[in-house]
């Protein structure tokens, strides 16, 4: 049994922290964009037009029923074939955004349908159009209703972001692999990467708890 030497981790900490920086960038961008995607897909998912609704529900079914890794491969190899030559980081953001946008869309759709119809009626009778009602009255309430579920999805996003290392995005997991290729100590570095993810996760949970406390609807 080879001895474990965690000192190499501290010597190469800068590589890991660089990776962690990109992980945070990746996850923040993907989180925000996924909420935008979720709003769009939630709206088309409750559309009165059957083709729009069916297409959306089919799309949601496919992207919820397939693994994130497969979707990342689709974008990484497929986008260049349709002429879009994007950097791995952008491709990673697109993949994560779409995947979690789909998850959040289902959650948000349930939230929208859960807002009492009295809100719709009141807004319409005050002269607001359908889209104005949605934008100013319903969706804000729906978002506050489902913020715990969305928060859970954001935490999942942080952990699943490690997959983009497979499509060569220089985030924390890939940085650990870089360090390993120089020091040949996989256990120490993967363990350290795991610890860093755990710390960031803990921080994210803390932030989400505060957000939920402030946005919770008190009855």
Partner 1 sequence: MDYELILRVTPFFAKAAWTTVVVSFLSFALGLSIAFPAAFCRLSQNRFLQIPSRVYVSVFRGTPCLIQLFVIYFGGPQIGIQLEPFMAGVLGLGINIGSYMTESIRGAILAVSRGQTEASRSLGLSKFQAMRKVVLPQAAGLMISPLGVNTIALIKGSSLVSAISVLELAYTAHRFTNSTYRPFEMFILASTFYLVIITLTSKAIRNLNGRFAYEK
Q: Which residues bind partner 1 (CB under 8 A)?
A: 1-2, 4, 61-62, 65-71, 73-74, 77-78, 81, 159-163, 165-166, 173, 180, 185-188, 190-191, 193-195, 197-198, 201-202
CB of 183 to partner 1, least distance (A): 12
Q: Print the SS3 string covering the chain.
A: CCCCCCHHHHHCHHHHHHHHHHHHHHHHHHHHHHHHHHHHHHHHHCCCCHHHHHHHHHHHHHHHHCCHHHHHHHHHHHHHHCCCCCCHHHHHHHHHHHHHHHHHHHHHHHHHHHCCHHHHHHHHHCCCCHHHHHHHHHHHHHHHHHHHHHHHHHHHHHHHHHHHHHHCCCCHHHHHHHHHHHHCCHHHHHHHHHHHHHHHHHHHHHHHHHHHHHHCCCC
Instruction: Name which of 1 and 49 has its Cβ closer to partner 1.
Output: 1
CB of 171 to partner 1, least distance (A): 11
CB of 177 to partner 1, least distance (A): 8
Instruction: Name which of 87 and 215 has its Cβ closer to partner 1.
Output: 87
Instruction: Name which of 4 and 32 has its Cβ closer to partner 1.
Output: 4
Instruction: Name which of 31 and 71 has its Cβ closer to partner 1.
Output: 71
CB of 193 to partner 1, least distance (A): 6
CB of 50 to partner 1, least distance (A): 22
Instruction: Name which of 32 and 70 has its Cβ closer to partner 1.
Output: 70
Tokens of 38: 């979720």
């Amino acid at each position: 049994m080879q001895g474990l030497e965690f000192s190499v981790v501290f010597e190469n900490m800068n590589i890991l922290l660089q990776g962690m920086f990109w992980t945070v960038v990746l996850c923040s961008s993907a989180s925000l964009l996924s909420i935008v995607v979720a709003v769009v897909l939630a709206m088309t998912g409750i559309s009165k037009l059957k083709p729009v609704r069916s297409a959306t529900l089919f799309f949601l079914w496919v992207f919820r029923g397939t693994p994130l890794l497969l979707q990342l491969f689709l974008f990484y190899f497929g986008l260049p074939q349709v002429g879009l030559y994007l950097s791995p980081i952008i491709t990673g953001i697109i993949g994560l955004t779409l995947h979690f946008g789909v998850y959040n869309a289902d959650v948000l759709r349930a939230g929208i349908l859960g807002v009492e119809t009295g809100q719709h009626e009141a807004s319409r009778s005050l002269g607001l159009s359908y889209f104005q009602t949605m934008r100013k009255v319903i969706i804000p309430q729906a978002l506050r209703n489902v913020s715990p579920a969305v928060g859970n999805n954001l935490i999942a996003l942080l952990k699943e972001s490690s997959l983009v290392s497979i499509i060569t995005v220089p985030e924390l997991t890939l940085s650990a692999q870089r360090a390993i290729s120089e020091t040949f100590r996989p256990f120490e570095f993967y363990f350290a990467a795991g610890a860093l993810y755990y710390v960031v996760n803990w921080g994210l949970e803390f932030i989400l708890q505060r957000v939920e406390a402030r946005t919770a609807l008190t009855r």
